[in-house]
Amino acid sequence: MESLSSLHSLRNPELREQYQRAGFGGRVGWGERPALLVIDMARNWTDPGEQMGSDLAAVLRSIVDLLAAARARTIPIFFTTIAFDPALKELGNVVRRKVPQGERLIRGHERVQLVPELDRREDEPLIEKPRGSAFFGTNLLSMLIDEKVDTTIVTGCSTSGCIRATCTDAHDRNFHVIVPAEAVGDRSRTAHEANLFDVHARYGDVLPLREVLEQLANLRGTNEEQEAAGRLSHT
C-alpha cells in the first residue's frame, strides 16, 4: 500500500499531471531582485526537546548554505520568530485556545531566539511576527519594497504552517516565490510532503536546493555593482 506522502507528493507524477490538467502548477520563475526569508529557525521549533520542536538539523544545514550564498551576493536577508508580550495580549484569545503552546513564546525567552548557527548579522532584520505568515502584522512588505525585492526565497519551518502561510501572502502580493525543498521542514513528514505539493501547485516554485544555489551563484550581486561604481568614481 502506498504511503500518504507518496500519494500527495511532488513525487507522484499522476497527481502532478492531474493538477496540471486543472490549470495548476505553472512556473513563476525568478525575478530580478531576490531576498532570503528564514522563517522561525529558533529553539522552540528546532529543538526536539521542546514541545513544538522537531529535528531540523538537515534543514538548518541547507539554510546555512543559502545564507553563505546570499551574503556573498549581498542579497537582502530577513529572519522571523514568533514572540508575545508576557501578558499574552498580542496572542489573542481565539488563537490562544487553538494553539495553547503559544503561551510559551514569550518575548526575550531563549526558546524564541534564533539558533546560533544562523549567525545573523546586524543588517539582517529579525521580525517578531504574531501569526504564521511573515507578512501578517509586520513591516516585512515595506522593507521588501524598500529593497526593491521582487522574489522571495522562503526557508525554515514549518512547511504546513508558517512556510505555507508566508508563501501564500507573498504570492498574493505578486512576489515570485521560490522554495528550496531541502531548506524547509515540518514535524510531520506527510504534512511536509503535502504542503510542498500545494505550494508548488498554487503559490510558487519548489526547487532543489542545488538549483537555487546555482541561481544565486550566477546572480550579478550588488557587490559587483558597487565595485564597478567605485571604479567609475575614481576615474
The tens digit of pLDDT for each residue in 36-72 reads: 999 999 999 999 999 999 999 999 999 999 999 999 9
Q: Give pairs for 1-8: CB < 8 Å, separation 24+.
A: 3/190, 4/190, 4/193, 4/194, 5/189, 5/190, 5/192, 5/193, 5/194, 6/193, 8/190, 8/193, 8/194, 8/197
Q: Which domains does the chain have, with CATH numbers?
A: 34-233 (3.40.50.850)
- For residue range 160-207, what is the model confidence (pLDDT) as tens digits? 999 999 999 999 999 999 999 999 999 999 999 999 999 999 999 999
From 36, 112, 114, 162, the catalytic residue: 162
Of residues 163 and 219, more confidently modeled: 163
**Confidence at residue 3, expressed as pLDDT on a 0 to 100 scale:** 59
> pTM of the prediction?
0.91
Structure confidence at residue 226 (pLDDT): 43
**pLDDT tens per residue, range 97-116:** 999 989 999 999 999 999 99
Active site (annotated) includes residue 167 = no
